[in-house]
Structure formats: C-alpha cells, structure tokens
Amino acid sequence: MNRVFGNDGFWRFVRPCCFPGRVPEKLRLFIIATFCLSLLALNCQADVEKDYKSERERMVVEQIEARGIHDQMVLWATRKVQRHQFVPEGLRKTAYEDTALPIGEGQTISQPYIVALMTEVIKPHPDMKVLEIGTGSGYQAAVLAELCKSVYTIELVEILGKRARQILTRLYKNVHVRIGDSYRGWPEVAPFDAILVTCAPTKVPQPLMDQLKEGGRMVIPVGESGVQALCVLTKKNKRLKQQAIIPVLFVPMVNQKGKKY
C-alpha cells in the first residue's frame, strides 16, 4: 500500500493535470477509493445482466417448456425479450418468477407461462398483423413484435400506455401503441390475422369478432372476476368457433369510467 500512497513517482502523473503541489495523502486515498468503487460498480452491473440471462433461461425451461409449450419460435422470443425491463425497477429481481406482477395503477404484467401460452395459441408468423388489447407493461407486445410483422396494441390507462410506448418504440419499429378504450378495436387497420386480449370482458366484444380475418384466431379471457376461462376463437366461413382451454385470472376489461364490459 505504502508503495502506492507514498510513491511520488506514481503521483507525479496525477499532479500535473489536476494538482499544483504534492498530492496530499487524503486526496490520494480519495482517488484510489473512487477508482475501486467504480470498478466494483461496473462488475456488479455485469453480474446483474448475467444473472438475468440465466434467470430467463430457467424461466423458459422450468415454467414454459415444462408446461408443454413447444413452439420453437415462442421459446426463442421468450428467451430473448428482457422481461425485467418491463417491470417496475423495485421488482426487477422478481421479473422471472412464476407469477404475475404489479405494474402500477392496479394492473399487472401476466405470468410468463400465460404470455407464452397465449402467443403459441395464435400460431405467430412473420406475415401476421396482430391486435393486442391491454398493453399494460408492453411485455406481451414485445414478444409478439419479435414474431409477427406488425403489432397494434391499445391501453386504457394513459400513464401505462405512455410508459409502454416509450420502451416499445425504443426497441421495435413494428409496434403501434394507442391510448384509449379498446372495446371497439382498431377499425382503421382491421382486419387482423390474430387478436390477443389480456383483460377479461364478461362476453367477447362484437367489434373484435368483426375485426378478425377469415381463418384468424382470437385468444381471450372471458367471464366474471374469479371465474374466467381462457378461450380460443377461430373464424371459418364467417362463423366463430369458441373453445375454452384453461381457467385464468385477468384484470377486468373496463370502460373509461371503470365500468366492466
């Protein structure tokens, strides 16, 4: 230590640029401490990124693949999208846990498995134009953006919509975020190859059924709070066939006044 603190040869490099006389002991100590702390901070940052990558891998293997999601593109997208970027900073360490998480304004980011399941159900493809109802954190839209040609997503709560738009437009060119009530869909760009709804109405909104292309698929949680079923609707010969797949728990689809649809 004395070699560094006491060796004037070393401090002669520092002196000409910032200190006119002999560099005092306390200042030497301060410079060394600052340097060491910066190195430590850089190291921690790298560790955190590395950990998230392994957490993400574990999430895909243990929560998604293990429950029967086998679409290779869906697995690839969930491995790629950094879920921790879409949750509030204080919750980043829990971003890859097997659960939904609060994102503010009483809303949630869906559980990773549910995001993967809903994505697999619509059979994503690079030619598809998809409508998402309930942008929330923007995570589901990001997964879709990795797999589809274009994603149109609508969020009712302005603060969430703006936050999601900021991160999504920074990461993707093929995502369009609209703020407002999505009950009527997005008629100007309809019809859609697929519609993915991430808030639960008590029955499927007619405008969304109308905006689904022939041969298209809609995945939607339907029902009262506590008794919802995740349903898949397929359109053939202008008729919709509805099939319930699993029981789920989503936030309700509401209008601007908070009234449930």
Dig out the tokens for 90 from the structure: 């204080």
Annotation marks residue 182 as catalytic: no
Inter-axis angle of helices 25-58 and 72-80, nearest 10? 160
249 vs 174: CA distance, rounded Å: 29
Q: Which is nearer to ligand SAH, 24 or 102 (CB)?
A: 102
Catalytic residue of the set 38, 54, 110, 225:
110
Q: Determine which residue in the list 77, 130, 160, 204 makes contact with ligand SAH, applying CB under 6 A.
A: 160
Between residues 139 and 152, which has the closer beta carbon with respect to ligand SAH? 139
Q: Is 12 exposed, middle or buried (0-12, 13-18, 19+ CB in 10 A)?
A: exposed
Of 119, 140, 150, 228, the residue at the interface with ligand SAH (CB under 6 A) is 140
Q: Parallel, antiparallel, or unpaired: how do β-strands 175-179 and 150-155 relate?
A: parallel
Place of tokens 């994102």: 103
Task: Tell me if 248 contacts ligand SAH by CB under 6 A.
Answer: no
Interface with ligand SAH by CB under 6 A: which range of 5-13, 44-52, 149-157, 234-242? Answer: 149-157
Site for ligand SAH in 174-203 (CB under 6 A): 181-183, 198-199
Residue 156 engages ligand SAH in binding (rule: CB under 6 A): yes
Question: Could you say whether residue 107 binds ligand SAH (CB under 6 A)?
Answer: yes
Q: How far apart are CA 115 and CA 86, in angstroms?
A: 13
Euclidean distance between CA atoms 23 and 191, whole angstroms: 72
Query: What are the tokens at 254?
Result: 């509401």
Closer residue to ligand SAH (CB): 157 or 218: 157
State yes or no: residue 78 binds ligand SAH (CB under 6 A): no
Residue 49: C-alpha distances to residues 53, 63, 143, 246 (Å): 6, 20, 19, 34
Q: How far is the CB of 103 from ligand SAH (least distance, A)?
A: 6
Residue 191 φ then ψ, to 5°:
-85, 160
Q: Active-site positions?
A: 110
* Sites of contact with ligand SAH (CB under 6 A): 107-110, 133-134, 136-137, 139-140, 154-157, 160, 181-183, 198-199, 251, 253-254
